[in-house]
Amino acid sequence: MAERDDLKLAEAEAAAPAAPAPRTGAPAWVSASIPAVFVVLWSSAFIAAVIGTDAAPPLLLTFCRFAVAGILLAGVVVVTKAPWPKGRLLLHVIVTGLLMQAVQFGAFYTAIGAGLPGGLVALIQGFNPVLIALMAGFVAGETISRQQWLGFAVGGVGVAIAVGGALDSSVSGIVLSFVGLLGLSVGTVYQKRFTQGADVRSSTAVHFLASAPVMLVMTLALEDPEVTDWAGFGGSLAWIVLINSVGTFLLLNFMLKKQAASRVGTLFFLTPAVTAVLAWLVIDQTLGLSAIIGLVLGGAGVLLAARK
């Protein structure tokens, strides 16, 4: 009799609707807000650079960023036991780091320190996908579509208008911004070609650690490495290292796991305009009409060139 009751109980449990599985992971609104948070945080790097270069020479700020971020990431590598690059791969990782870190940020920070608005520097940096596509077309023989050529033309006109309006403020800053863009773009192509097998954590640590001594030599040789405002310098350095070097890096990798790389890449088209708005809100740095027109045309051009 007991066996029959147990059988009926088992049949009733089997026929009952299954309880809904518990939800795991972050709420939907959190995941949906991550791209917007990423754009704001990425754009804030230019504002922090403006504050930091007002408090200390730009190459000194760049050296401190690389040194602190390199030590922090090296600790992460040791704790997580990530493999360090060795041999020829290590040399390629060092070259990549010098291009993408030392050349890019050394030039960008010096341009900002020379008085170039952060929004304009962000606009020039935003042409990285365009320059990479051109490199792929001329060096690797990849086909460039008519839509891409149209995007290059529209974006080029936008940059020309924005740069033309800033010639009276800092010609050297404009030249340095394009040097930084070249370092970023060449470094990206070099990284894709020669460092595919490197661990992201350890290779990024090597990027910073290899670039820090270069920036130290340059700040000692070319600047008077003296901090005039320790509060502004410390605050901007902490923001650049913790938020821009670590926080946005984690958000970027999270989005790349959830979305296509091309979709994530389109977020960078928003950074020049967001940088300009943040500069106006935070440090009261405004842009002229030519710079605003350039931002609009530049963003439209890069978007056209990057769309499939």
- The C-alpha atoms of residue 168 and residue 116 are separated, in whole angstroms, by 10
- The C-alpha atoms of residue 25 and residue 7 are separated, in whole angstroms, by 38
Helix or strand holding residue 109 (H, E): helix 104-113
Query: Using CA atoms in the order 228, 231, 233, 237, what is the torsion angle rounded to 10 degrees?
Result: 170
Asked if residue 64 lies in contact with residue 237, where contact means CB atoms within 8 angstroms, the answer is: yes
pLDDT tens digits in sequence order for the chain, 308 residues long: 444 555 454 455 445 554 444 444 556 666 667 778 888 888 898 899 999 999 999 999 999 999 999 999 999 999 999 999 999 999 999 999 999 999 999 999 999 998 888 878 887 887 777 777 777 666 655 566 777 778 777 777 777 777 666 666 678 888 999 999 999 888 888 888 888 888 888 998 999 999 999 999 999 999 999 999 999 999 999 999 988 877 776 677 667 556 655 555 566 677 777 888 888 888 887 777 777 787 787 777 767 765 65
Residues 6+ apart with CB under 8 A from 63: 212, 215, 216, 218, 219
Q: Which of 304, 276, 299, 283 is nearest to 121 (CA)?
A: 276
Instruction: Note the Cα 269 to chain centre separation in Å.
Output: 12
Q: What is the pLDDT of residue 89?
A: 94
Rg (CA), the chain: 24
Cα-based distances in Å from 66 to 62, 69, 104, 237, 245? 6, 5, 12, 10, 9
Asked if residue 207 lies in contact with residue 65, where contact means CB atoms within 8 angstroms, the answer is: no
Q: What is the pLDDT of residue 7?
A: 47
